Amino acid sequence: MGLRNIIGRRLGLGLVRRRKPFSTATCDGDGNGNAKSINLYSAINQALHIALETDNRAFVFGEDVSFGGVFRCTTGLADRFGKARVFNTPLCEQGIVGFGIGLAAMGNRAIAEIQFADYIYPAFDQIVNEAAKFRYRSGNQFNCGGLTIRAPYGAVGHGGHYHSQSPEAFFCHVPGIKVVIPRSPRQAKGLLLSCIRDPNPVVFFEPKWLYRLAVEEVPEHDYMLPLSEAEVIRQGSDITLVGWGAQLSVMEQACNEAEKDGISCELIDLKTLLPWDKETVEASVRKTGRVLISHEAPVTGGFGAEISASIVERCFLRLEAPVARVCGLDTPFPLVFEPFYMPTKNKILDAIKATVNY
């Protein structure tokens, strides 16, 4: 725990390296009312405050959440809402999720934190065999729809094997849960509130690289952003780029570079990976005739493969080039080799050019 704690704090504090600050070009959040410039962890914190404030059956728990969490997402919650509703749990991910399922099954909003997505695997059985099938196996007599599992995911520059992983594809193979990943503070707040209030169990991965780095104006009021709706965040005509979470900022940089070469890129934030919005991606690819998918997770068996297959099924005759995937390598996430492993701007740019010039 000590190690995780220290690394967590370090990661939180030492984010800035290769990523440029990213802010949403367009935003679904209601622009009216007060909005302050805040970072992503503060947006998560706001959403949790609102969730606890608007539903007295909402609970926030996990390892070290009581003092504010290793990434500060739960700061102030225990003081405001009390130790009975915001509390530390033993260091046991399967216990956290199992406990959350039980809590949710009694009509509560159980907001569980897994300290790093890299440590979610002990809870895999509880998520896959229990949470995901709770409603179905009981014929809708019981459900644990009030469960939301939050977990920081992804590269951070120095996280090595166990503080960098992007395990979303494992969970996208599980009917019965939803998988959601925000790209920015405003998105994070609105999507997290939707996940917490959604009547299905949700795994919500937070891009930890952006916790402090991504800053944008976030409305202070209570708002929700729709799940299973992708968003075109950059209009273009030559190629469609699909991504989610922190990777979108890298992809946007590649789009900007490509534009200098006269290539018009359309960029889509999938936001919800399960169940995902095929229609928005399909409509875009029908327009551009080309698609590139990018994620940090290893390419083989990644969610990009699913998108690729679906688009080929739906747009085969419209495609003017093979589907391109720019993803992590099929290695464990490496420490000193991280710059080589990552789906960087120039890897994406090369793939854009190769696809457009195919």
Partner 1 sequence: MANWLRISSRTVANHIKKRMNKGFMGGAVHVNQSSGLWWGLNRGGPVSDRNGRHRDPLAWNRATFLCVQRFKSTLAEKQHDSFLSSDSDDDNQSVDFPGGKVSYTSEMSFISESSQTRVPCYRVLDDDGDLISDCDFQQVSKEVAVKMYSNMVTLQIMDNIFYEAQRQGRISFYLTSAGEEAISIASAAALSEQDIILPQYREPGVLLWRGFTLQEFADQCFGNKADYGKGRQMPIHYGSKKHNFFTISSPIATQLPQAAGIAYSLKMDNKKACVVSYIGDGGTSEGDFHAGLNFAAVMEAPVIFFCRNNGWAISTNVSEQFRSDGIVVKGPAYGIRSIRVDGNDALAVYSAVSAAREMAINEQRPILIEALTYRVGHHSTSDDSTKYRQLDEIVYWKKARNPVNRFRNWVQNIGWWSEQQETQLRNSVRKQLLEAIQVAEKTEKPPLSELFTDVYDHPPSNLEEQEKHLRETVTRHPKDYPSDISV
- The residues carrying an active-site annotation are 93, 163
Adjacent-strand bridge partners of 38: 216
Residue span 21-60 as binding mask against partner 1, x where in contact by CB under 8 A, dash where not: ----------------------------------------
Residues 6+ apart with CB under 8 A from 82: none
Under rule CB under 8 A, residue 224 binds partner 1: no
Query: 10 vs 278, which CB is nearer to partner 1?
Result: 278
Q: Where are the beta strands (DSSP E) in the chain?
A: 35-39, 58-62, 86-88, 109-113, 147-153, 178-180, 202-207, 215-219, 231-234, 239-243, 265-269, 272-274, 291-298, 324-328
Under rule CB under 8 A, residue 98 binds partner 1: yes
Count of helix runs (H) and strand runs (E) in the chain: 14, 14
* H or E segment and range at residue 230: none
Q: Which stretch binds partner 1 (CB under 8 A): 125-133, 183-191, 262-270, 346-354?
A: 125-133
Under rule CB under 8 A, residue 108 binds partner 1: yes
- CB 340: neighbour CB atoms within 10 A? 10
Look up residue 349 and give its amino acid.
Answer: L
Of residues 266 through 285, those in contact with partner 1 by CB under 8 A are: 275, 278-279
Of residues 191 through 210, those in contact with partner 1 by CB under 8 A are: 199-200
Residues 6+ apart with CB under 8 A from 285: 240, 291, 311, 314, 315, 318, 319
> Of residues 12, 68, 152, 176, which one binds partner 1 by CB under 8 A?
176
Q: Which stretch binds partner 1 (CB under 8 A): 68-76, 94-102, 261-269, 329-337?
A: 94-102
> Of residues 15, 48, 73, 104, which one binds partner 1 by CB under 8 A?
104
Under rule CB under 8 A, residue 105 binds partner 1: yes
CA atoms within 13 A on the CB side of 245: 27
Residue span 137-166 as binding mask against partner 1, x where in contact by CB under 8 A, dash where not: xxxxxxx-x---------------------
- Contact residues: partner 1, CB under 8 A: 84, 87, 89-90, 92, 94-95, 97-108, 110, 122, 125-126, 129-130, 133-143, 145, 175-176, 178, 199-200, 228, 275, 278-279
